[in-house]
Amino acid sequence: MTADAGRHAQRTAGPDEELRGDKLVGPAGGLVPGGLDAASLRADFPIFGREIDGKPLVYLDNAATTQKPLAVIEALRSYYERDNANVHRSAHSLGARATLAYEGARAKVRDFIGARHQGEIVFTRGTTESINLVAASYGRANLHAGDEVLVTEMEHHSNVVPWQIVCGQTGARLRVAPLDDRGELILEQLERLVTERTRIVAVAHVSNALGTLNPVREITRLAHRRGAAVVVDGALAVAHLEVDVRDIDCDFYAFSGHKAYGPTGIGVLYGKAALLEAMPPWQGGGEMVLSVSFEEATYDTPPHRFEAGTPHVAGAVGLGAAIDYLAALDFAALVAHERDLLAYSEAALCSVEGLRLVGTAAKKAAVHSFVLDGVHAHDVGTILDHQGIAIRTGHHCAQPVMRRFGVAATARASFAAYNTRDDVDRMVAELHGVKRIMGRCGT
């Protein structure tokens, strides 16, 4: 994707607005030009041509992974059929072509999230590996006994466990900012928890379990006033919001390709150049060194210092194709479309007797978690699956969130660009009958 001059324009948003490229979109979606024809968009995704148990597929598990457009699938196939080779230092044509494609994808990511330099973009296996890299490299080098790492009560396990590990290794302490009953951060308490001992604040841009959209720009300002570094888990944000890392001013930002219409096994860590340059390697091997003897090794500069071994070249190529696909959409229309689905599905879900939404933040991405009285979430998911409807059930790798709301698991419906109101109607129609079905089964 070439840089869009309007995409990361610096503008001031009001208290009830969020920056979306060159447009300010209010909490109700606001007025947007044109529109998103989701029904036609589905033709770009081959998987929607299949059926489940003889029923047309309704896919509402996008917070776990999105489906892939034909453009991404063809990019992967073309790479393997025409350009497959290892990258960097190859003397042959295929190696040069593979390197151009790999580094070209890095440039697309840079532009997509508004990074300043290509060297600030590190390819990883996904959000989990990106956060582990920061914890193991930056965390070990900068945390000491008595220091504190602050996370929130809504974090995915991937933004909790790596910090627990590094705190155990360094003697630092993990602290937790609480949520209110709607699933929103209590910012006053978070601010009080950021002290002179705080070295790292790690926060989700969007909660995978609740859909809550966090004010990461404001949190970054609070943390920086105390000298703390900010790590943002952007796994559920980049395909649904305009993300500008320079506007947020976070120190690190992590996301996964597979949640943004790209392949599995490829992810991104953005880090400010000065921080990456000061960080020691996380893994050792080929590609991340300039010279090696049995006495010592001289490490390469970022991002290569953090990409030991043969990288997932095809994954990077596929991610680049996914970014191109997203860039071709009217992103303001996409945001408005998902907000419409969120509001429409909330009203429809609340019509189901005994259904309770878990997470009702004022600002949410297109995610609804819910429980149904007397019916386990896994049973809800199984019954819907027999009708061709794919939702997520379980604790969503966010067990502290489940404990906060007093549930073992929830059912979760999450939306993407290709979803429609008809998808919502089919899901809700089946939910109305779930209790009747479970009653016949004796539960």
Which H or E run contains 52? strand 51-52
DSSP for 126-159 reads SHHHHHHHHIIIIIHHH--TT-EEEEETT--GGG
Burial class (CB in 10 A: 0-12, 13-18, 19+), 98: buried
Number of H helices and number of E strands within the chain? 15, 19
Catalytic sites, residue numbers: 397
Among the listed residues 246, 209, 188, the one whose alpha carbon sits nearest the alpha carbon of residue 402: 209
The amino acid that residue 209 corresponds to is A
| Nearest alpha carbon to residue 112 among 312, 246, 303 | 246
**CA 280/CA 285 separation, integer angstroms:** 14
Strand ranges, E, within 84-242: 121-124, 148-152, 173-177, 198-204, 229-233
Q: Are 145 and 288 in contact (CB under 8 A)?
A: no
- Per the structure block, which two tokens stand in for 55? 């029923």
Rounded to whole angstroms, the Cα distance separating 51 from 35 reads 28
